[in-house]
Amino acid sequence: SSVTALAIATPVFADSATKKSIYDDQPREFPATNTQPPTRIIAFLREARHEATTALSMVRIHGQMLVDRWIHTEQQVADVVRRTVPRGETLAPGIIYVGVAALAGPIFTGRRNFVVRGLSPLVFGAAAAAWFLPGTSAVVLRNVWGRYGDPAAIDRVCETWQSVKAAERQMRKRVAANVQELRLSLQQGRGFGQDAPVAKAVEVKQAEKLAEIVPEAKEPPVQTEEQLVKTKEPQAKAEEKPAPLPLGFKSKA
């Protein structure tokens, strides 16, 4: 048995000396790469892809620049509005009225010459802005005049405008007082629609005016209750006396 085992083991050790390696002794030969020039379609597609990528990059860059410019413009407009519009005044809805007035200018001047039609939007818009947005209009006028004109002149214009507005308010009050006085005088003449205090006030006012014209007429010719009683007593006594009888009749008393 030991001899058999030795006989079997001997070839195994003998074969191990001549066993081949798992790696090739010579380097592997690869086929040569295809060095043919690209076809026209491949070259066109490659060029088109390159152009599309470049154009997309340029569009993205210009879009970002446009967005940045828009944001910067919004900030500038917000700053200008913040500096122009004074506190306590809002643009809406006054700016809408100004736009409507500017658009209505050519409608009202449709039959005039082209110069009037061309200037009508500016004139109507400026008038509406001065009425609905007085503070903003003053700031805009001051900025424009300060850049292109004399800064002191705008102050004089503002003072003149304020004086005109004050005169307008006084005129309105005077007209309202005259209208009220005329209405009360008409009601007093017709004899309806007036209360005792109103009538008394009208009488006093008329008496004051009359006193200004005629110095002697300082008191209104209105009798007091005592004067009325004194004037009525003789009348009452006269009424109590019996009427005289005709001639030839005698009284029973």
Q: Does residue 18 sit within a domain? A: no
Quote the pLDDT of residue 16: 53
| Residue range 138-155: mean pLDDT, rounded | 75
CA distance 244 to 40: 151
Q: Does residue 143 sit within a domain? A: yes
* pTM (two decimals): 0.38
Rounded to the nearest 5 percent, the helix, strand and coil shares of the chain are 70, 0, 30
Q: Does residue 216 sit within a domain? A: no
Tokens of residue 251, six digits: 């009284």
Q: Does residue 93 sit within a domain? A: yes
What percentage of the chain exceeds 70 in pLDDT?
61
3 state DSSP class of 110: coil
pLDDT grade for 51, boundaries at 50, 70 and 90: very high
Quote the pLDDT of residue 224: 52
Q: Does residue 173 sit within a domain? A: no
Q: Does residue 106 sit within a domain? A: yes
| Residue range 138-164: mean pLDDT, rounded | 78
Is the per-residue pLDDT at 157 higher than 80? no
Of 236, 238, 239, 241, nearest in space to 253 by CA:
241
Structural domain of 106: 89-149
Q: Does residue 129 sit within a domain? A: yes
Q: Is 88 left (phi over 0), alpha (psi -120 to 50) or beta?
A: left
User: Residues 203-245: pLDDT tens digits?
Assistant: 666 667 656 654 444 444 445 555 555 555 555 554 555 555 5
Structural domains in the chain (count): 1
Q: Is 10 left (phi over 0), alpha (psi -120 to 50) or beta?
A: alpha
Quote the pLDDT of residue 61: 96
Which of residues 132 and 250 earns the better pLDDT score?
Answer: 132
